[in-house]
């Protein structure tokens, strides 16, 4: 299990929300994790936190879900515990277990228990990848009870006001065996993420990679063309994250063609014919690049 705790500065004002421009300037002054809103997701998250409601974020890989949660935790001034869910993640991993050392047996809190005790934000990334018993543990925390039973200690923790449960998953990967049950989904305020509009995505790529606007704009145009492909067996198309990687390599001196091959094409498929087809689009976007 992978986990990380992040801490931020002061809390979010309870007053009226600032305009997007003023808010962005304010964020920069506070050195928050960079995030450019696509819509009303920031305001909805803040309202959910004030109402003590859990949040579910749905969206493709690399579209900014984790960065958004990091940004919001920092804006709210709350610790953030991030757990990357996987097939072997169990309820015990989240809640805690008894361990043994030289002095005997002791209890070790898991990230979910620590988050409840501290009034932190717990973020379960790709929650449907975890074992089914984890979902049962989340139920009493995701309704008006806001409680965490710890059976092995005979305790029940009441979540403080600042505690928040946030989960995410990628609907594009889900199937009948790994979908989220409707009874679970309906416990959350749901936010759907997609890839940003081209102008906004160009700003993100340029800002994250330190690239010039022309490089970012051309890569976004290429990504748009790649995302429109329907005749090839590609599970997911080019993410904003991969565009940032590509722009960074180009800014560092790599040829655009080689950078695109390594970041926008090879990560998408192992099929050589599909790679060749995707590279035709790359060559069309960079017609004067050395093809050797």
| C-beta pairs of 113-118 under 8 Å, 24+ apart in sequence | 113/148, 113/150, 113/157, 114/5, 114/81, 115/79, 115/81, 115/163, 116/141, 116/148, 116/157, 116/159, 116/160, 116/163, 117/157, 118/79
Residue 30: what pLDDT? 55
Cα–Cα distances in Å, from 14 out to 43, 46, 49, 145, 260?
12, 9, 11, 24, 44
The pLDDT of 212-219, averaged and rounded, is: 97
How far is 201 from 198, CA to CA, in rounded Å?
A: 5
Residue 15: what pLDDT? 40
How many C-beta atoms surround the C-beta of residue 134 within 10 A?
23
Query: Where along the chain do its domains lie?
Result: 2-192, 198-285
Q: 180 falls in which pLDDT band (50, 70, 90)? A: confident
Domain 2-192 of CATH type 3.30.300.130: no
Q: What is the pLDDT of residues 28-69, one digit of tens each?
A: 445 789 999 999 999 999 999 999 999 999 999 999 999 999
Q: What is the pLDDT of residues 258-288, one digit of tens each?
A: 999 999 999 999 999 999 999 999 999 998 6
Q: Is 61 exposed, middle or buried (0-12, 13-18, 19+ CB in 10 A)?
A: middle
Q: What is the pLDDT of residues 92-108, one digit of tens each?
A: 999 999 999 989 999 99
DSSP-based three-state secondary structure for 108:
strand
pTM of the entire structure? 0.84
Average pLDDT score, the chain: 87
Q: Where are the beta strands (DSSP E) in the chain?
A: 2-6, 55-58, 80-84, 96-101, 104-109, 121-125, 147-150, 155-158, 164-169, 189-192
DSSP-based three-state secondary structure for 149:
strand
């Amino acid at each position: 299990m992978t986990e990380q705790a992040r801490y931020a500065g002061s809390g979010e004002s309870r007053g009226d929300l600032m305009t997007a421009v003023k808010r962005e300037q304010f964020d920069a002054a506070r050195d928050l994790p960079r995030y450019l809103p696509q819509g009303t997701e920031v305001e909805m998250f803040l309202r959910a936190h004030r109402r003590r409601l859990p949040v579910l974020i749905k969206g493709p890989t690399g579209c900014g879900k984790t960065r958004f949660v990091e940004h919001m935790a920092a804006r709210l001034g709350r610790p953030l515990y991030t757990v990357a869910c996987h097939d072997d993640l169990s309820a015990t991993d989240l809640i805690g277990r008894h361990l043994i050392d030289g002095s005997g047996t002791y209890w070790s809190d898991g990230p979910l228990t620590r988050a409840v005790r501290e009034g932190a934000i717990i973020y379960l990334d790709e929650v449907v990848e975890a074992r089914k018993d984890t979902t049962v543990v989340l139920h009493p925390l995701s309704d008006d009870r806001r409680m965490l039973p710890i059976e092995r200690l005979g305790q029940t923790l009441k979540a403080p006001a600042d505690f928040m449960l946030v989960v995410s998953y990628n609907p594009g990967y889900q199937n009948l065996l790994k979908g989220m049950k409707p009874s679970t989904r309906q416990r959350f305020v749901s936010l759907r993420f997609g890839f940003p509009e081209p102008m906004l995505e160009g700003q993100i790529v340029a800002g994250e990679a330190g690239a010039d606007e022309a490089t970012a704009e051309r890569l976004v145009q290429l990504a748009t063309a790649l995302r429109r492909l329907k005749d090839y067996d590609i599970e997911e198309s080019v993410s904003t994250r991969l565009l940032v990687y590509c722009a960074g390599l180009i800014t560092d001196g790599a040829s655009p063609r080689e950078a695109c091959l390594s970041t926008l094409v090879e990560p998408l498929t192992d099929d050589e014919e599909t790679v060749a087809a995707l590279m035709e689009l790359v060559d069309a976007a960079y017609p004067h690049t050395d093809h050797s």
